[in-house]
Amino acid sequence: MTELLKNKLLWIPLITWFLVQLFKLIYEIITNRKSKINFKRIIGAGGMPSSHTACISSLATSIGVTEGFGSATFALAAVFTFIVMYDAAGVRRAAGKQARVLNKIIETDGEEINVQEKLVEFLGHSPMEVIVGLLVGICMGLLLCHIWDL
């Protein structure tokens, strides 16, 4: 357990994810001028930048820095990063659009539809949100590797 807690390559993406989610929360409070804090923003998906992409790209970057950008471990992390980016901008974004359409159908005055709750629409990311997440992750990976002298 001690080794796990000392694993800086584990902490870098976790810190990156937390800071990006915290940024989204603060940004929402400022832009919407809400006095009530929406804690769902801390764990929720969607928004600028992509925290999923930032998290995994910070891991790939820190692996590249510590083990070399030519290592098999970095190659694995880089491929995983591209899969996460594709999922964030492709699959989850499409699911969010479909949820939006289904929610509109549910809200119509037409035939009664028995649905207990609305579907979550804020799932995916625009390509720009994913690219910014990638850049944030790379910068966080480089910064924290430098700070921790990895």
Single-letter residue type at 118: K
pLDDT at res. 73: 98
Q: What pLDDT does 97 receive? A: 62
pLDDT (tens digit, 9 = 90+) per residue, 121-140? Answer: 555 678 888 999 999 999 99
Q: What is the pLDDT of residue 123?
A: 56
**What's the domain range around 33?**
2-147
pLDDT in tens, the chain (150 residues): 899 899 999 999 999 999 999 998 888 788 877 667 767 667 777 778 999 999 999 999 999 999 999 999 999 999 999 999 988 877 656 666 666 666 666 666 556 556 555 555 555 678 888 999 999 999 999 999 999 998
Domains held by the chain: number: 1
What is the C-alpha separation between 26 and 149, in angstroms, rounded? 30
Amino acid in the structure at residue 33? R
